[in-house]
Structure 1
Amino acid sequence: MRSLFAAFLAACCLLAGTALVQAEKRTFIVANSPDAYGVDRCLADGSACGAAAALVYCQSKQFAKAASYRRIERDEITGVVPVSTSCGRSGCGDFVAIECAR
């Protein structure tokens, strides 16, 4: 009886862990370079044309889909933002938050 309970408990933990992995989301902060090919404007504006770029970005990080994408202000970012990732030939750009889901 004790081993049956242990097996049941292990199965429940496995199912719970699987559900957490499937529901995993992560937000990536990407420099919105003004030197890019115009995709940066689609992402920052939240326009439909940014959906494909956000999807490809998420897939490159082994996520299945892009849950959302939007322009993010510097003061919303916690942590250090290196100058080299945010400034190009045209000056300092904005940042885009891309939320990816499994």
Structure 2
Amino acid sequence: MKLIPTLVACVALLSASAAVADSRVFIIANQPDDSGIDQCLARSERCGANAALAYCKARDFVQATAYRRVDPDEVTGAVPKTVGAACMRGGCDEYVAITCQR
């Protein structure tokens, strides 16, 4: 009879681990524009929440759990260095990480 509570506990633990939400981090170029939304995302300010949420929903995720500026060095060689006209507006090598969750 002591086996039944142990089995119930094991099943509950397995069920809880299966319910962990799917989460993914997207690294995107921080595109400066006149709206200022790029700075909201890069500085993790509240004003970037709607942009991050829209980005996640466009990729079939339910919510954005985090967004922040990312240094290109944090991304192991996958992010190319920006040169030329794109650097004129101060957007060189600036990226944002948005964490989306299902």
Q: TM-score, normalised to structure 1's length?
A: 0.70
Q: Report how far residue 46 of structure 1 moved.
A: 0.6
How far, CA to CA, are the matches of 2:27 and 2:34 in structure 1?
16
Query: What is the Cα deviation at residue 82 of structure 1?
Result: 3.3
Q: Does 1:98 align with 2:94?
A: no
How many equivalent residue pairs? 87
Pick the aligned partner of 1:76 from 67, 74, 77: 74
In the alignment, what sits opposite 1:24? 22
**Paired AA for residue 97 in structure 1:** A
**How much is the aligned-residue C-alpha RMSD, in angstroms?**
2.7
Contact 1:33–1:93, Cα closer than 8 Å, also in 2: no
Q: What is the aligned partner in structure 2 of residue 9 from structure 1? A: none
Q: 1:1-12 alignment to 2 at 5 Å?
A: none
Work out which of the residue numbers 54, 57, 70 in structure 2 matches 1:56. Answer: 54
Tell me: CA distance 1:73–1:98, structure 2 relative to 1, closer, same or farther (3 Å): same
| Partner Cα distance (1:90, 1:79) in 2 | 24
Q: Per-residue deviation at 1:38?
A: 1.2
What is the one-letter code of the residue matched to 1:95? Y
Instruction: Point out the structure with the larger strand share.
Output: 1
- Give CA-to-partner distance per residue, 1:37-96, whole Å, 9 cap, x none: 311000001100000000000000110000100111111112421346xx7252514110
* Cα distance in structure 2, aligned partners of 1:78 and 1:68: 20
Amino acid at match of 2:75: I
